[in-house]
Structure 1
Amino acid sequence: TAEVIGEEHGITDTQLKNLAEKTSPLIAQLNAERKAGKTPYRDLPFNKEIPEKVKALAAELKGHCENLVILGIGGSALGNIALQTALKPYMHNLDDKSRLGPRVFVFDNIDPPQLASFLDWVGDKLDKTIFNVISKSGRTAETAAQFLIIRKMLLDKLGPEGLKSHVVATTDPQKGTLRKIATENQLSTLEVPEGVGGRFSVLSAVGLFMAAICERPISIFLCICPWLLTFLKGR
């Protein structure tokens, strides 16, 4: 503020008051849109069903998960990277003592050397690796290309049962290419809720699964969001 660093570089109390007056109508508009059901992503912190399903699946899989590989682009990748940065030590993939849960790898492009080098490393560790494929439609080109390669590797080395037990598909609740593939192959699934775009999806199963399987108490950071919404509503 100007009181601390001076008016040349700091914001004054008058400027803060003027900004608050300008933001009040915007906050009212956001609250009205939420009440009308136009912004379902804002209700994710209040959803009790998603965290319970995520925690149940994570508990089922974490016993044979030393490596979690996330395939996704946009918010599916960036949201998980943000949580990973916030919740895990910087050197988490190298330090077994400080790391809770598995190593985490996020692939958000089809760079051949990057993926090939990882597949060489993970090839003899597939029985301890879970692949989380995230695509609402299942037609995301980069993610689909990665999954085709991973799917073939799992089938070749572990067979159909290996594919079934080492892939989690996070996708549309009812429709889409990935939902069809998951059903046909009896894959474990999590849902991207209706009306929630990728960039707003981190507090859905898209981000919560990684947090849960890494043994992070997802209820703690979920409870912060309702507090923030209540604060904004009261402005």
Structure 2
Amino acid sequence: MIIERKLARQISFDYSGAMDFVAAWELDNLQPLVSQAHSLLHGQAGPGKEYTGWLDWPISYNREELKRVKDLAAKIRERAEVLVVIGIGGSYIGARSALELLGHSFYNQLPKEKRGGPEIYFAGHNMSSSYLVHLLELVKDKEIVVNVVSKSGTTLEPAIAFRIFRQLLEERYGKEGAAKRIVATTDKDKGALKKLAGEEGYETFIVPDDVGGRYSVLTPVGLLPIAASGVDVDEIMAGAMK
């Protein structure tokens, strides 16, 4: 995958252009509130504290789980022409944003040898029937791997998209063959998707309990699609630790 490496390694925020509209004393007046919010957040003491695991995630993440992500991503790059990521909200938008940031603007249109991975498409993030029909027309004759991302497995939009793609894979490869091409990123213990994955034999990755969906890009939720595109996720995690 083509990466703008300097941009990927160091991102800074320049707010100097806003200083014509915000006085220094206004910022000073807000500082006590900012300090209080910072203290609550890092002390994991405020409302929603049970979902602040993302703060220390780049240090505390499971190294074995990341190795599994990388190993599966390598297999996907070898055997799949298309990776369809099914999810909504934070279950897809982090991966999509990272791929748009780090990769070629027209990644899917590049020859595979230049992409470094399969074409990557997203589904299950809207209720558009025409979107699904068009996507199916585009990928139906290609070698497909599906990564369904849902903590519960019952959210309407991804549940519908997954049912359709699961049917496509089972009709083409049979249930056993389809199971080898479906990856579920879901709750570690419970939920409809976790149950189905266990019954069907899908490979699974965990959505951490203490990491909210919008902050999950550095978990298997985001890292599997990113790694499948050819991006070095070890480099991403090393950068996140700094």
| TM-score using structure 2 length | 0.82
Amino acid at match of 1:183: G
> 1:177 matched to which residue of 2?
192
Distance 1:225 1:12, change over 3 A: farther
CA contact (8 A) 1:89 1:98 kept: no
Distance 1:16 1:174, change over 3 A: same
- Displacement, 1:162? 2.2
- Displacement, 1:151? 1.2
What does the per-residue CA deviation read over 1:167-217, in whole Å, with 9 as the maximum and x for residues that have no partner?
Answer: 111101111110111111111111101122211211110000011111111
> 2:99 matched to which residue of 1?
84
> 1:100 matched to which residue of 2?
116
Residue 137 of structure 1, aligned match among 127, 142, 152? 152
> 2:88 matched to which residue of 1?
73
Alpha-carbon RMSD across the aligned residues, in angstroms, is 2.4
Paired residues, what number?
221
Instruction: Give ranges in structure 1 of 5+ residues lacking alignment.
Output: 228-235
Q: Does 1:208 align with 2:207?
A: no
Residue 42 of structure 1, aligned match among 55, 71, 85? 55
> 1:218 matched to which residue of 2?
233
Amino acid at match of 1:99: R
- Displacement, 1:10? 4.7
Q: Does 1:123 align with 2:127?
A: no
Q: Does 1:161 align with 2:172?
A: no
Amino acid at match of 2:185: T
Q: Which moved more, 1:59-68 or 1:145-154?
A: 59-68
- Displacement, 1:19? 4.3
Instruction: Give ranges in structure 2 of 5+ residues lacking alignment.
Output: 1-15
C-alpha distance in structure 2 between counterparts of 1:221 and 1:175, whole Å: 30
CA contact (8 A) 2:76 2:118 kept: no
What does the per-residue CA deviation read over 1:209-235, in whole Å, with 9 as the maximum and x for residues that have no partner?
Answer: 0111111111222233332xxxxxxxx
C-alpha distance in structure 2 between counterparts of 1:173 and 1:149, whole Å: 24
What does the per-residue CA deviation read over 1:15-63, in whole Å, with 9 as the maximum and x for residues that have no partner?
Answer: 55554454222212211117xx732122221214332221122123321
CA contact (8 A) 2:77 2:116 kept: no
Amino acid at match of 2:206: E
| TM-score using structure 1 length | 0.85
Amino acid at match of 1:43: D
Amino acid at match of 1:27: H
- Structure exhibiting the larger radius of gyration computed from Cα positions: 1
C-alpha distance in structure 2 between counterparts of 1:166 and 1:158, whole Å: 9
C-alpha distance in structure 1 between counterparts of 2:171 and 2:114, whole Å: 34
Residue 206 of structure 2, aligned match among 173, 191, 210? 191
CA contact (8 A) 2:116 2:230 kept: yes
C-alpha distance in structure 1 between counterparts of 2:136 and 2:80, whole Å: 16
Q: Does 1:33 align with 2:40?
A: no
- Displacement, 1:98? 3.9
Distance 1:21 1:155, change over 3 A: same
C-alpha distance in structure 2 between counterparts of 1:51 and 1:26, whole Å: 31
- Displacement, 1:69? 0.5
> 1:23 matched to which residue of 2?
34
> 2:11 matched to which residue of 1?
none
C-alpha distance in structure 1 between counterparts of 2:58 and 2:83, whole Å: 24
